């Protein structure tokens, strides 16, 4: 007897093939849909924008937009600083010591302001390098969006200007004058953002959270702040850090005479504002700002940009320009002035460079 075989009818073969196709469809439909969605998101729609807002073709960023976001970031960070202080939940602790041996304080205000400012800027300009005083904890990431609006005063004074994204470095100080913040000396407290292009500060924002005053300026652009009408070169009022008054006073009086006034204050942002015409009742006025020791760049970059935009100067004590690339510290101290003979000031104070290393 011949062996019996199993024969499938044409209808059975068709059913079998359809079942196989159904299995394959269920296995790969999700994958294919995902790939299709990725393709659609990767390719710009016809007539639509080809790059994210805040960026331009070729990896460029618009400095006017970056200024608008920087102002918003300083204000949003300031809201956190103020909320923590008014709620008295500082949780202050020492995070280390300065080179002079003083304790550096860290508070909840520093951390929350830093998180808000960093993620707002990073979300709007993901291709730009951002340096901040405080460490960013990626596990504590926050989504902070920018609505793409530009304040009217910035629109009126600043024209769009594109620069390569790789040339830009943003410096954030989420809470300047932390020591004074813990001591409730709130007039000294600021939040600051600075934008440097190829190491040169071009955008500066200094915000005072406890009075809601904000100063901003862009080099070769415009500003919402101006220099005062007069300065005293012969017997200047010199503003210095609270801990440096003694170091500067003797040299300054020997140079300019006993009429020289030494003003001790907290916060680098506050000291730069002292050189300007600021409508603040508790803002002191000075002619020169001097710092005689090492200082971090996020402390001074915003002030440097504002002064440059207004025709002023901030240099090391020996007159060298400060570059805002590379390391986060400035070794040579600083001297800042506006509407004065900056070179002559440096030549009159030759001993301060030596003082800075003591």
Candidates 107, 108, 169, 178; catalytic one: 178
Read off the DSSP letter of residue 46.
Answer: T
131 vs 118, 122, 172, 324, 349, CA distance in Å?
A: 9, 11, 6, 10, 32
* Residue 147 known to bind ligand: no
Report residue 109 as tokens.
Answer: 């205000």
Is 140 marked active-site?
A: no
* Residue 133 known to bind ligand: yes
Candidates 62, 107, 110, 214; catalytic one: 110
DSSP β-ladder status, 60-62 and 162-164:
antiparallel
Burial of 253 (0-12, 13-18, 19+ CB in 10 A): middle
Report residue 172 as tokens.
Answer: 């954030």
* Residue 175 known to bind ligand: yes
Burial of 339 (0-12, 13-18, 19+ CB in 10 A): middle
Compute the distance between CA of residue 135 and CA of residue 129 in angstroms, rounded to an integer. Answer: 14
Report residue 73 as tokens.
Answer: 């970031």
Is 153 marked active-site?
A: no
Compute the distance between CA of residue 66 and CA of residue 223 in angstroms, rounded to an integer. Answer: 14
| Beta bridge partner(s), residue 222 | 218
- 123, 146 in Cβ contact below 8 A? yes
* Residue 287 known to bind ligand: no
* Residue 328 known to bind ligand: no
Residues annotated within the binding site for Mg(2+) are: 133, 173, 175-176, 299
Residues annotated within the binding site are: 133, 173, 175-176, 299
Q: What are the catalytic residues?
A: 110, 178
């Amino acid at each position: 007897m011949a062996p019996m075989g199993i024969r499938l009818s044409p209808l059975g073969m068709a059913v079998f093939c359809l079942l196989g196709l159904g299995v394959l469809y269920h296995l790969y439909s999700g994958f294919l849909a995902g790939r299709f969605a990725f393709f659609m998101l990767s390719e710009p729609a016809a007539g639509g924008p080809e790059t994210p807002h805040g960026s331009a073709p070729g990896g460029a960023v618009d400095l006017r937009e970056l200024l608008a976001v920087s102002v918003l970031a300083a204000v949003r960070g300031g809201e956190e600083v103020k909320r923590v202080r008014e709620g008295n939940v500082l949780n202050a602790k020492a995070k280390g010591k300065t080179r002079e041996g003083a304790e550096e304080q860290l508070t909840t205000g520093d951390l929350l302001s830093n998180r808000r400012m960093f993620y707002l800027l990073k979300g709007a300009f993901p291709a730009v390098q951002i340096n901040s005083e405080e460490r960013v904890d990626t596990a504590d990431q926050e989504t902070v969006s920018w609505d793409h609006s530009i304040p009217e005063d910035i629109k009126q004074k600043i024209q769009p200007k594109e620069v390569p994204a790789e040339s830009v470095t943003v410096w954030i100080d989420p809470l300047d004058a932390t020591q004074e913040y813990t001591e409730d000396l709130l007039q000294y407290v600021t939040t600051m953002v600075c934008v440097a292009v190829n190491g040169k500060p071009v955008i500066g924002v200094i915000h005072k959270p406890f009075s809601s005053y904000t100063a901003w300026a862009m080099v070769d652009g415009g500003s919402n702040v101006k220099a005062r009408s007069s300065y005293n070169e012969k017997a200047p009022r010199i503003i210095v850090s609270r801990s440096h008054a003694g170091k500067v006073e003797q040299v300054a009086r020997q140079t300019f005479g006993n009429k020289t006034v030494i003003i001790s204050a907290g916060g680098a942002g506050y000291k730069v504002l002292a050189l300007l015409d600021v409508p603040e009742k508790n803002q002191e006025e000075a002619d020169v700002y001097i710092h005689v020791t090492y200082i971090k760049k996020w402390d001074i970059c915003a002030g440097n940009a504002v002064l440059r935009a207004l025709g002023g100067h901030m240099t090391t004590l020996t007159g060298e320009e400060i570059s805002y690339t590379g390391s986060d510290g400035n070794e040579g101290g600083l001297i800042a002035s506006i509407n004065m003979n900056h070179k002559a000031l440096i030549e009159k104070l030759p001993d301060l460079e030596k003082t800075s290393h003591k």
